[in-house]
Each structure stands twice: as structure tokens, then as C-alpha cells.
Amino acid sequence: MATTSRDTAREILEVVPLVMRTVRTEMRERRAHDLSVPQFRTLGFVERHAGTSLSELAEHIGLTLPSMSKLIDGLVERKLVTRQGRSDDRRRITLALTARGCALLESAHESTQASLAERLSALDENERAIVVRALRILHPLFVRGKTEGRYGYS
Amino acid sequence: MATTSRDTAREILEVVPLVMRTVRTEMRERRAHDLSVPQFRTLGFVERHAGTSLSELAEHIGLTLPSMSKLIDGLVERKLVTRQGRSDDRRRITLALTARGCALLESAHESTQASLAERLSALDENERAIVVRALRILHPLFVRGKTEGRYGYS
DNA sequence: TATTGTTATACTCTATAACTATA
DNA sequence: TATAGTTATAGAGTATAACAATA
């Protein structure tokens, strides 16, 4: 029997939310830092796009400018992010992670990965290889593309 | 080179959130019904566990009892859910979907599945088979189990 | 007394509107 | 005039505390 796109979609809708729930839960438990999900995502984006502006960040996270501004207020207060003026266009700001923000993000990511790996140790090597292969097949289909939305989620 | 649990975890953390973002976005766009994610999840749980109590629901969704009570207020108001007293234990209530709630959930789920399938049509059948195989390998590792958290996400 | 659910109240997050400063 | 960002204000959503009803 052929595996249709519909079959695959059904399977994805059944399994992926389960996996995501676990990832989220572990992310939350590990953080010990009391960050909301949008705050976390913000740190991640700023890490990958050091020097980004507020507008660009807001666009990618899916928050309005005022909400993003306020969120950044909090991260700056906690010394996880720096906010500097720009000399070339003085309306704009430049955002970057502090060493502390970078370390926090790193450690959260690391420990989430570790706890996930523990769960996956129940698989044998062949099974893991199939999983990795499947994920690499899916990856390009879900990178930020045309059918993309403006939402940030949280 | 062997595929370690760590490799697999890394791959999951990279790809699964991407997939989930798309699912969420499409879920939101399709709804046209103006439901929050916890409301949606609540409908889903009540469908799968018709007759559930408020406490049980709150436990699974990850909300406190008062929050859940208020959320249900809204769903009852919109006639998506019914809330009835129980004769055997009159402290408890019994929750169930209305026909309307059932239809809404169905249609949202259906159209999300359809749009996902469209995206997956870029794959050939062999690739889809691998994806399905991988998801079935992962599934049992992520069903609500011991390492479970109390969070609901939203 | 313990449990199920609701009501009262407060806090966080996010949005829209109005504003300031710069281009 | 248009754009980048902030401040002011209001609306959801969720939590904790206090309560009512039942077991």
C-alpha cells in the first residue's frame, strides 16, 4: 500500500505535537531562569542575528513593535541583551546578547538536548538512523518560506 | 559513523520546532473561529475523553482549576461544550462536545491536515514512507509518560 | 476533613493608539 | 511625509486565595 501525503500529514499531526510538548516541558524545567517562550525565542533569534533591529526581531518573533520593545526592556534589565543606538541611522537600535544571555541560552539548549537524548537511548542505532534521515527529509519543507505566517506563538 | 542519541536529539530540536510552527500557523489561519490554543486543546481532549471532569481536564491541559473553569465558561457560552452536573457525585461536572464543537474541531483538523499534505506532496513516495516509519518509531517514546510535566503550553 | 468546582482579585503578556525623534 | 522606536492604556489569560457544596 502506498504511503500518501495524507497519511504522512496525519502521522505528523499525531506525533509532532507530542514531541513538541516534551521539548517545551523540558525546556521550561531546565531553564530555572524564568523566561517566557517568546523571551527564549528572542534570545535565540538575537544569537543567530546579532546586531538585529527591533523591527526585524518583532517581524520574526511575531510580536508588535510595542510588545517587542517591552519584552526587550525586560531582557536588558536582566542583562541578557544589550540595546545600543546606531550611528548611521539614529532611529534604529542594535540588539545583541550579553555573555550572560549567551551562556543561558547555551545551557538551556544543551540540557534540553541531553534529556531528549536520554529518551532516545531506548532506540537502537538503526532506528535512530531512520529518524535522522526522516528529519533531514522534512527539514527543507519547513524552513521559513512562502506559506509562512506572521505568528509568533509563544 | 554511528548515529548517536545526541545526534538524533540535535536533529529533533532543529526540525521539530520548525514543523510545529507551520502546524500552529495553519491551525490558526484555518480556524476562522477565534479560539486560543488552550481552547483548541481543550476541545480535543474533551472529544477524546467525553464525559471528563473539570479536574481531569485541567490536569491534562495544564491549567489550574479556576483558569480551566473560566475557559470552559467561554466554550459553554459559545455552545461548543456542554457542562452538566453528575448524579452520582454532585460535586463533579461532566463535560462533552456539542455537535457544533465537534464539527469545528473536525473541520480545523481536516483543513490543517490538507494543507500539510500539500506541502508533503513535494516528497516522493519512498521519502514519505521513511518519514512515516520514523514517526512511528518516535511515537511511543513521547506518549504521556513518566518524564511528563504539568505544563500546558498554550 | 477532604475534594470538586466557582468567585474575587491581581499580575503578566500582548495589542492599539498616541507620541518623539530621525530620515 | 515616512520610519524606528517608546509610552500610555486597555483587554485577554492565567494564577493564588477565599469560598460553597458535597462526600
pLDDT at position B28:
65
Mean predicted confidence (pLDDT) in B92-120: 92
pLDDT at position A72:
97
Segment B23-65, tens digit of pLDDT: 877 776 654 567 888 998 899 999 999 999 999 999 998 899 9
Mean predicted confidence (pLDDT) in B95-114: 91
Neighbouring residues of B8: CB distance < 8 A, sequence distance ≥ 6: A117, A120, A123, A128, A131, A132
B36 shares contact with chain A (CB less than 8 Å) = no
Q: How many CB atoms lie within 10 A of CB A133?
A: 17
**Across chain B, what does the average pLDDT equal?**
87
B149 shares contact with chain A (CB less than 8 Å) = yes
For A149, the closest of B13, B25, B136 (CB atoms) is B25
Contact A18, B44 (CB under 8 A): no
Take residue B43 and report the three cell numbers written for it: 476541545
pLDDT at position A36:
83
pLDDT at position A28:
65
How many angstroms separate the CA of residue A143 from the nearest CA in chain B?
Answer: 7
How many angstroms separate the CA of residue B89 from the nearest CA in chain A?
Answer: 33
Mean predicted confidence (pLDDT) in B73-102: 95
Q: Which chain B residues have a beta carbon less than 8 Å from that of A141?
A: 119-120, 122-123
pLDDT at position B144:
61
- The count of C-alpha atoms lying within 13 angstroms of the C-alpha of B91, restricted to the half-sphere facing its C-beta, is 1
pLDDT at position A145:
47
pLDDT at position A123:
97
**Among all chains, which residue has been given the C-alpha cell 543561558?**
A104
Low-confidence ranges of chain A (pLDDT < 70): 28-33, 144-154
Take residue A5 and report the three cell numbers written for it: 501525503
Does B145 score more than 50 pLDDT? no
Confidence of residue B140 (pLDDT cuts 50, 70, 90): very high
Mean predicted confidence (pLDDT) in B98-119: 90
Identify protein residues whose C-beta is within 7 angstroms of any atom in strand D.
A 53-56, 65-66, 69-70, 72-73, 83, 89, 91-93; B 36, 38-39, 62-64, 66-67, 70-71, 74, 88-91, 152, 154
Segment B9-27, tens digit of pLDDT: 999 988 998 888 788 777 7
Mean predicted confidence (pLDDT) in B93-97: 97
pLDDT at position A144:
60
Contact B23, B64 (CB under 8 A): no
**Alpha carbons A83 and A79: distance in angstroms, whole number:** 10
Does B124 score more than 70 pLDDT? yes
**Alpha carbons B19 and B93: distance in angstroms, whole number:** 37
pLDDT at position A8:
97
B15 shares contact with chain A (CB less than 8 Å) = yes
